[in-house]
Amino acid sequence: MKAPALGFRRLARDGAARRGRVTTAHGSFETPAFMPVGTAGTVKGLTPEQVAATGAEIILGNTYHLMLRPGAERVARLGGLHRFMNWPGPILTDSGGFQVMSLAELRKITDEGATFKSHIDGSRHELTPERAVEIQRLLGSDITMVLDECTPFPVEREDAEKSMELSMRWANRCKDAFEARPGYGLFGIVQGSVFEDLREKSAAALAGIGFDGYAVGGLAVGEGQATMLRVLDATVPALPEDRPRYLMGVGKPDDIVAAVRRGIDMFDCVLPTRSGRTGQAFTRRAVLNLRNARHQDDPRPLDPDCACPTCRDYSRAYLHYLFKAGEMLGPILLTLHNLSYYQELMAALRKPIEDGELDDFAAAFKKQQAEGDLPAL
């Protein structure tokens, strides 16, 4: 059976916010969507079946990590990333630009690409736009991301402009290297740091090249929410209306709500999984630290309004005990809850967009978050 073309269908709109559906070779996913991060071919602590049970329809993998271990060619020989990790749904792979940036002194950026030392064994590697696209094709990614230079923050305007222009040259080369196939797409990445005119210039350059979707990169790197939203206000209107829009690495719940109201369709972040491993739980009212002694005798669930297995079957007291005792079940149960919370949030955003009531939802969300956690027993 012929795979469907990668496409975006807008089903409803409320102001700038969109309710849509993206179709890929491995199925469709509803937007706004949150993608759990499976950097190295696994969402840490959970089986693919557990991840799917939270409501997740698409996950994220990473080119940098998978090229180093186990290697893209090996994954391809074993049937591609979907089969390798037993995830049948859509997969988006980040190109590795952010990870290369984080290597600092271990990397060198030229017009040709990035050379760097592996954080695993110190071996030297080169990642060019062409190689980044090739790796993602070998992995079998439904959505391939262009290689970009993720501009650090803070940065001088001149340096941000040079970095953005380099990313645009790389984006053009990625487009030339990408093998168009039904059900598979290539996303461009807007750069330009916190400078609105550079963001607009970058968005125009990418739209001129033509991509299946557009991401906004280089945010959530320390600039603060107000600045991030100002940049989005300048950037999102410059992106094509008929393609999905992806805000990379942004994942605080209030950031997601604010970005959806500005027309963003897709999100990813390590926050729910990393927080789950360190004892933090996201709830409708507050972020809880399960290591705190206030939970040790509390028989209540994390969130009485949550239907996930963790809230249904386990008490705060038990979760507190697991983390204090260093038992691996604690991070598993909290990760399961956090991802469930995020998927419930995305579903809760989609409905008011359909009904034209997103402003009311956002106000109620903000009010509930301000109320804080349940009173201690």
Rounded to whole angstroms, how far apart are CA atoms 235 and 202?
9
How far the first Cα of the chain sits from its last, in Å, is: 58
CATH number for the domain harbouring residue 167: 3.20.20.105
Rounded to whole angstroms, how far apart are CA atoms 184 and 108?
31
**What are the pLDDT digits (tens) for 219-228?**
999 999 999 9
Please give the pLDDT value at position 1: 38
Confidence band, pLDDT 50/70/90 cuts, at residue 100: confident
Residue of 194, 238, 358, 373 lying closest to 292 (CA atoms) = 373
**What are the pLDDT digits (tens) for 316-335?**
999 999 999 999 999 999 99
Which of residues 269, 295, 316 is at a domain's end? 269
**What are the pLDDT digits (tens) for 131-143?**
999 999 999 999 9
**What are the pLDDT digits (tens) for 183-234?**
999 999 999 999 999 999 999 999 999 999 999 999 999 999 999 999 999 9
Would you say residue 101 lies in a domain? Answer: yes
Residue 105 has pLDDT above 70, yes or no: no
Residue 163's identity, in one-letter code, is S
Tally of CB atoms within 10 A around 208: 9
Residue 147 has pLDDT above 60, yes or no: yes
With vertex at residue 237, the alpha carbon angle to CA 7 and CA 21, rounded to the nearest 5 degrees, is: 25
Please give the pLDDT value at position 106: 67
242 and 280 together in one domain? no
170 and 292 together in one domain? no
Q: How many domains does the chain have?
A: 2
36 and 94 together in one domain? yes
48 and 175 together in one domain? yes
Give me the active site residues, please.
94, 268
174 and 62 together in one domain? yes
Would you say residue 372 lies in a domain? Answer: no
Which of residues 241, 269, 297 is at a domain's end? 269
Query: Residue 142, SS3?
Result: coil
Would you say residue 347 lies in a domain? Answer: yes
**Which residues share a beta bridge with 216?**
190, 247
156 and 280 together in one domain? no
Please give the pLDDT value at position 104: 58
Please give the pLDDT value at position 53: 98
196 and 132 together in one domain? yes
Confidence band, pLDDT 50/70/90 cuts, at residue 376: confident
Rounded to whole angstroms, how far apart are CA atoms 86 and 47?
9
Residue 122 has pLDDT above 90, yes or no: no
Tally of CB atoms within 10 A around 335: 26
Beta strands 27-31 and 17-24 are antiparallel
* Domain assignment of residue 345, given as a range: 276-360
Rounded to whole angstroms, how far apart are CA atoms 60 and 42?
9
The rounded mean pLDDT for the chain is 95
198 and 339 together in one domain? no
Would you say residue 210 lies in a domain? Answer: yes
Confidence band, pLDDT 50/70/90 cuts, at residue 2: very low
223 and 336 together in one domain? no
Residue 265 has pLDDT above 60, yes or no: yes
**What are the pLDDT digits (tens) for 39-89?**
999 999 999 999 999 999 999 999 999 999 999 999 999 999 999 999 999
Name residues whose C-beta falls within 8 Å of residue 158's C-beta, 6 or more positions apart in sequence. none
Would you say residue 31 lies in a domain? Answer: yes
